[in-house]
Amino acid sequence: MSVYKASAALCVGLVASLLGMGGALALDRHVVIVNNTSYTINEFYASSVGQKSWQEDILGNDTLAPGAKVRINIDDGTGYCKYDLRAVFNDGTDAVKQGVNICEVRTFTFNE
């Protein structure tokens, strides 16, 4: 095979690989969080699986009242789909759900 043909084949393979990755990179990482408890969610965290600490409180100064829901963008730029989710309630308790695939889950509900 000539150098030209080998280079062309390499370029075609690289472009095909990048196009295949584009679909994964473009996945929607917005999730509706539903508070189906009788407590207000004061803090909400989402960290990609394997992180040793929680990222910032996504709610910031906001809270999520009982029965309320909010749409959150969980995309942290890593391209990961699996996240651990944590809600901290106004009574000081918390709920953690590990390994949620946010590329597939459109709604996540915290129940009592």
Q: Is residue 9 part of a domain?
A: no
Q: Is residue 13 part of a domain?
A: no
Q: Is residue 20 part of a domain?
A: no
> CA of 47: how far to CAs of 66, 70, 101, in Å?
23, 18, 12
Report the alpha-carbon angle 33-34-40, nearest 5. Answer: 105
Q: Is residue 12 part of a domain?
A: no
pLDDT (tens digit, 9 = 90+) per residue, 68-82?
999 999 888 888 999
pLDDT of 60 over the 60 cut: yes
pLDDT of amino acid 7: 44
Backbone φ, ψ for residue 10 (5° rounding)? -65, -45
Q: Is residue 42 part of a domain?
A: yes
Nearest to 105 by CA among 66, 71, 59: 71
**Residue 66 domain boundaries:** 28-111
Q: Which is it for strands 107-111 and 82-89: parallel, antiparallel or unpaired?
A: unpaired
Which CATH number is 36's domain given?
Answer: 2.60.40.2890
pLDDT (tens digit, 9 = 90+) per residue, 72-108?
998 888 889 999 999 999 999 999 999 999 999 999 9
Please count the structural domains in the chain.
1
